[in-house]
Every structure is written in structure tokens, then in C-alpha cells.
Structure 1
């Protein structure tokens, strides 16, 4: 079953974004796939969804667990975690637990399906005292963004540690993304809506692999 991004937050969402050298990107993806064969047997695992950035410098895993307790048990399993050590030699991970705080879609509840759409991860980093303001700004700007032709869905997540907000979205084509980035408030060079609140890094991805519980 495809991963579903729901505002009810009935599942625990973990987003892991690796920085990687372009020449190691595919090797990292294969290593994560292999590790996922173990992960999918762990109690409470729901899904893993690997994304490959088109520019070659990122790999993202949008993962879901039945509960925070199940995820923490997985993290505490030293035998399983030892199998992941090879991943750290290929890429630098940023791993956080998130909850969905805003979502808009033209196709119903967003789902993650291999190679159905182009996907984006807009990574906002901020001090924890500024995260509430960043969430407010996200909610204010998500509906205007959805007026952009070609944008299928946008879903904002806030990290539970207070230092991240991620906008995960689906697009029909690259041209639509480029057009949105020209609009007032979304142009990174001309007073973007997050200016003074957060630093933003944006990459475009393809969904290259999905896995569900054994």
C-alpha cells in the first residue's frame, strides 16, 4: 500500500535526508535498499520511500512507523543499527521525527508512488524559538502556492525537536516549479516569505523505491 500523508498524524513520520557526492548517490540508494530488507521486518514498520535528487547531491527517505514507541525501539536495537553503519560512510544524514501541520492537494490525500510525480523537499532550518512562526507562514502561503499550475500537492511537516520544517510536494513537471520560484514571496532572491525566520534549501527528486512492512 502506498504511503499516505495525512493530517491526522496517525503514523509516526521520520524523514532522513542524506548529503551525498553525485558519484556515490546510486551506491547509497542501493545500500539503503539492502538495509530496508531488515528494517521492514521490525515491529511497527509501515513504509520506506526513497527519493533521488535530480542534481545528484541528496537522497531522502520518507519513512512511516505505527508509533513513536515502535520507532524508538528500532533505534535502540543495536544489532539492527550496526547494519546501517555502512550508510554513514556514503552520505551524511539529517534524521528527524516530524508531524504534518498543513496539507493541500488537488488529488485527494497525497500518496507516495514510484515515479508518478516529481517530488520536492524544501528544507527549512531555524532555531526552535522561530519554528512556530515558520509554521504560521507555511499555513499562510500553502494555498497561494497551490494556485500554481502543475503543483499537485504540498504538505508541511514540523520536526518535534523544533529545528526543522519540511515542505514535501508533488509536481507534474519541472517547468511549474521554476515558475512558482519567480512569484512574489517564493523567489529566493527577492524577500521570500521565510526571510529572517529560516534558512531554506530546495531540491527536486524522483521517487525511485518504495517498501512496505513484511
Structure 2
């Protein structure tokens, strides 16, 4: 295995400047054993090659607490850099992973841009809750308005959910999709927050009910993950 200009870190840097594009995708692998094998294969495929482009700022893999899914999150300087990686460097890495763990189902790939982040800039999460929402196509700027409302509800919550470390909100270019990469101290904290008296993870306030009743919201769901791998280029 040759030396590669790659190093592991704890998490993506959501406070960094220069992130112009984000890619998020989900793989289904079937079992916890195959999850672990797939993460090991991804790490090997990346560590055995040079970092593909200076414009790739970080690459993260999360392992689903469902024992089935892997979530991939990458930060890019711009869309063109990702397209070049997709054209020239993605397939050989995936082929190596597929050889080690046959039968991976790649569910989808979505593009986003960072919008707003709140909370600890140096968090060490034990759980990441990936929240995805879709909005009516005809509702202009609905995703942005929804995120602003969520952050207002959080800021005015009289009893914020314990264990929530950060929220990192992303919007699609067309404004119809939102992704929140929410960092929690642990899975139990998120479970406890959902069991509270209010809608979702918030208190029973008017602001949180406005979030729940947001008129242009077409669908909203989440999956829980644990951090598995984050790689960045070696300085």
C-alpha cells in the first residue's frame, strides 16, 4: 500500500470557509458486520490513493444505528470539482469497496450547499441525526424559511434538549430540499428529546408548533448514525 496524502480527523469542519458544495448519499449494506467491513474497505480504498483533489475538503462516512445503512457526506469547494471527481476518480474507489463487500445498494445522491450552523464548533458527537425534508416545488424559498423557523424555535426554547451539540443545515440549489447534520452526545439523548412533551425534539411552544405545521413541508424524516470515518487531505 503506497503512502497517501490522507489523514483521519474526528468530524467535518462545519465552521470552515470555502465550502461551495456538499454531496450526501446513502448505501444499504444489510448487516452490522457488512457495515464494519464496508467502512474498512472505504478507508483502505482512500488511504491507498492520493487525495483526489484540493477542492475536496473532507469526506465522512457514518454508520446507521439500524445496522444496515451508511451515510456519506463530502464537502467540496465547488460543483465543478465534484463533477471532475465523479468522472475520473470515483469508480475505482467504489469498485475496490464492492470487491470487498459485494451487493451494496446505493440508494441515492443529493447535492446541497451549506446554509447555517449553530452549536459547538469543536463537538465530539457520539451520534449524528441526519434530518432530511422536502418541500412543495411551487413554494419559493420554503426550505430556507423552514430552517430559519427551526432555529428561531431552538433559540427561544425554554428547556433546550440536553445532549444536542450542533445543527448544520444545508439547502438544495432549487430550495426544495433540506438536510440537517445534527450532532448529539449520544443516541439516548435524541431518543429522550423525542419523548418530551413538545413536537419533535423541542418544548411545547408556539414556535415549535409552527415548525410542525409548516404549510409547504411535503415530507420530513431522520436516521440515526454513529461516526465511522472522516478523512481530509494531509497538510
**What's the TM-score once normalised by structure 2's chain length?**
0.72
Shift of 1:120: 0.9
* Partner residue, 1:30: 40
Deviations 1:134-159 (A, max 9, x none): 33122112243462221111111112
Q: Is the 8 A contact 2:21 2:114 kept in 1?
A: no
Q: Residue 95 of structure 1 aligns with which residue?
A: 109
Show structure 2 runs of 5+ residues with no match. 1-8, 202-208
1:133-172 correspondence to structure 2 within 5 Å: 133-145=142-154, 147-160=160-173, 162-172=175-185
Which protein is bigger by CA-based radius of gyration? 2
Query: How far apart in 2 are the matches of 1:67 and 1:110?
Result: 24
Change (3 A) 1:124 1:18: farther
Aligned pairs (5 A) from 1:58-73: 58-73=69-84
What TM-score does the superposition give when structure 1 sets the normalisation length?
0.78
Equivalent position of 1:14 in the other structure: 23
Residue 131 of structure 2 corresponds to: 122
Classify the secondary structure of the residue corresponding to 1:47. strand
Residue 183 of structure 1: how far off its partner (Å): 4.3
Report whether the alignment pairs 1:41 with 2:72: no
Shift of 1:161: 5.0
SS at match of 1:3: coil
* Partner residue in 1 for 2:5: none
Give the secondary structure class of the aligned counterpart of 1:84. helix
Task: Give the aligned CA root-mean-square deviation in angstroms.
Answer: 3.1
Matched-pair contact (CA < 8 Å) for 2:23–2:110: yes
